[in-house]
Every structure is written in structure tokens, then in C-alpha cells.
Amino acid sequence: MSFIVGTSLLAVVTALACALPGAFVVLRRNSMLVEGIAHAVLPGIVVGYAFTLDLNSPWLIFGAALAGLLVVLGNEWLIRTGLITGDAPQGLIFPALFAAGVILITLDFNNLHLHTDVVLVGDLNLAAFRPLIVNGVSIGPQYLYVMLAVLAVNIAFIAMFYPKLKVMTFDDQFAAVLGLRTGLLNTALMFLVSVTVVAAFHAAGAILVISLVVVPAATAHLISRHLSVMLVLTAVFAIVGALGGFWVAYVLDAATSAAMAVFYGLLFVSVAFIDALATRVRRNRRRRVSLPTAKPQPVSAQPVSAQAVAPAGAPTDPRRAITQHRAMQGGSQTDAFSRPHARR
């Protein structure tokens, strides 16, 4: 397998692994928790390295995922106490964990080389640099199969708990009435998100992994409100954004992960513009249909009244007109024949 094909496949698999659980994160309005998890994984990596002394050990993923889960559990605990509300708990927890990771590195692990660019934005090309050799043949990057395993776990979890996740996502209180253990299910979901973020950390970094988790699901949410359709559209947008960003970075010789994030942003803006335009067209069409149409007045079959044809100054009542006509005739006869002659 060539390096370009392997890197593009790694981009697609990483985007899919992050986007599928991200659909539930977006619907539950926990998008900024992903940022907290992404920053809190640093002390988990350091602690995992303290036990294994190997940056490629899978225990680093597990330790970093536990550190990310601390952000979720701490955020929920602070919200339940009622002391602070909104997203303030996230601003309290993950900076402290991130700073703790920095302090651990500067004190005891100066030989732990975490490049700043890799921590912040990741390097997809560097993640795909080490190939997996089977019988002398390269079958793609080793990191590709790590992300394939994470993707398989995410798909299996969503397929297994899809009905419960659907009820919990749209109506948490109704799910509790049905007897579902919403707290445990939410913790399992966020732990899965934490594992996914940590696994994608090497390829996407602590900042750009947020776009991989949030933006494809948010773009799909603009088009459909049905969860099943939204999951399919999320996967489609994840693939399109990954391939588009990868090839834009390849042509411009730019950072691959950053190009993917920018391409995802442009994709969201384009879909939002098209959706707003389609909504306006539908609204105008409904407005035209709802407008009342002018109905033609029926022609009356009644005889025309005398008032309509009478000349100006004529009596409006036909009987008075006839009486007046007869009186005029009688008056003229009296004047002509019955009036006495003047005396001579």
C-alpha cells in the first residue's frame, strides 16, 4: 500500500471513529466536553508513560481516557451540587488537569518528548509514517489499524445500545422513568468518547480533534432531525471532509489535520447556507398558496330596476311616474278645452 493511500485511509477512519459518537455528544449538547477531554488527556499520557516507559503502549490510551473521564464526572458532579451552572465546571476542571500534566513533564519526565505541534494540532502524516509489514508487504500504517479497532468498538457500542441511547439522548427523564440506568449509560458513552479522542490524539491533536467529533454531526443535524438518518449523514460528511481536507493539504503542501478542520468548517457553512435558502423558498411557496384568491361575482338574473334606468330628476318610484304622467295629460286637456273663454 502506498503512503498516500494509507494516509488518506487513516484520515477517513479517524474521522469516522470520532464522528459517530460525536452525533450523540452534539444532540446532548455536550460538545465542549470534548475540548475538556482533549486537554485533560495530557496528565493521563504522562502517568501511563510513568508505568510503561513506552509512548506506543496501549496503556497510555487507557490512562489518558481515564483522565478524560475525570472531566466528565467532575462536570456532572459540580452541576448536581448547584454551586455553578453552565459550562463553568469545564473551565475549572480541564485547565487544572492540563496544567498538572505540564508540571509532571517539567519535574520528572524531561525525556518525554511531546512536540508542541503534535499536542495541539496533531500530524496525520507522522502518524502514518510507521507501516505495518506482513510477510514483507506493507498493508498500511500501524496507526490505521488502531483507529480501525476504535471504529469497530464505537459501531458495536452504538448498535448494541441504540434504542437506549436514542431515548436517553432525546428525553433523559423519560428514560429514567422506563428504568434505564441513564447515569451508567452516559458514563459509558463519554468514556468511549474519551478513548476515541485519546486514540485520535496523535493524528488530530488536542484542538483539531474537536472538529472531527463535533462538526460532521452538527452539519448532519442541519439537514435531518431523525437519529438514524443523522448518523448516516454524519458518516458521509466525515468521509467527505476527511478526503477533501487531505487532498487540499496535499495540493497546497499544508498541514493535513488543519486542512481537514478548515474543510469541515467550510462544509458546515455551505450546508447552512443551502438550508437557509431552501427554508426561505419553502416559506415563500407556502405564503403564495395561503393567499386568498379573488372570486368572480355572479351576474344577477333579476330585472333591472327603474331606479337604475331612470333619468336624472325623474321619480324613483314607477307608480309615481305613471301617476305624474297621467296628471300631466289631464292638465293639458283642461287647459285646452275646459278653461272658460275670456270676456270680450
d(CA 207, CA 261): 10
Q: How much is the pLDDT for 159? A: 92
Burial 58-78 (b: 16+ CB within 10 A, else e): eebbebbbbbbbbbbebbbeb
- β-partners of residue 283 are none
Q: How much is the pLDDT for 236? A: 93
What one-character DSSP code corresponds to residue 138?
E
Residue type, 199: A
Q: How much is the pLDDT for 16? A: 92
pLDDT in tens, 101-113: 777 777 766 555 5
Q: How much is the pLDDT for 340? A: 47
> Would you give per-residue pLDDT tens digits along the chain (344 residues)?
777 888 888 889 999 999 999 898 888 887 777 777 777 777 777 777 777 766 666 677 777 777 777 777 777 787 777 777 666 777 777 777 777 777 777 776 655 555 555 555 566 777 777 777 777 777 878 888 888 999 999 999 999 988 888 888 887 777 777 777 777 888 888 888 888 888 887 777 766 788 888 999 999 999 888 888 999 999 999 999 989 988 888 888 887 878 888 899 999 999 999 988 888 888 888 887 776 655 555 555 555 444 444 454 545 555 555 555 555 555 444 444 444 444 43
Residue spans of beta strands (DSSP E) within 142-278: none
* Closest to 227 measured CA to CA, from 27, 67, 85: 27
Q: What is the largest CA-CA distance in the chain?
A: 160
Which residues are CB-neighbours of 133 under 8 A, at least 6 positions away?
139
pLDDT in tens, 169-195: 887 777 777 777 777 888 888 888 888
Which residues are CB-neighbours of 55 under 8 A, at least 6 positions away?
49, 112
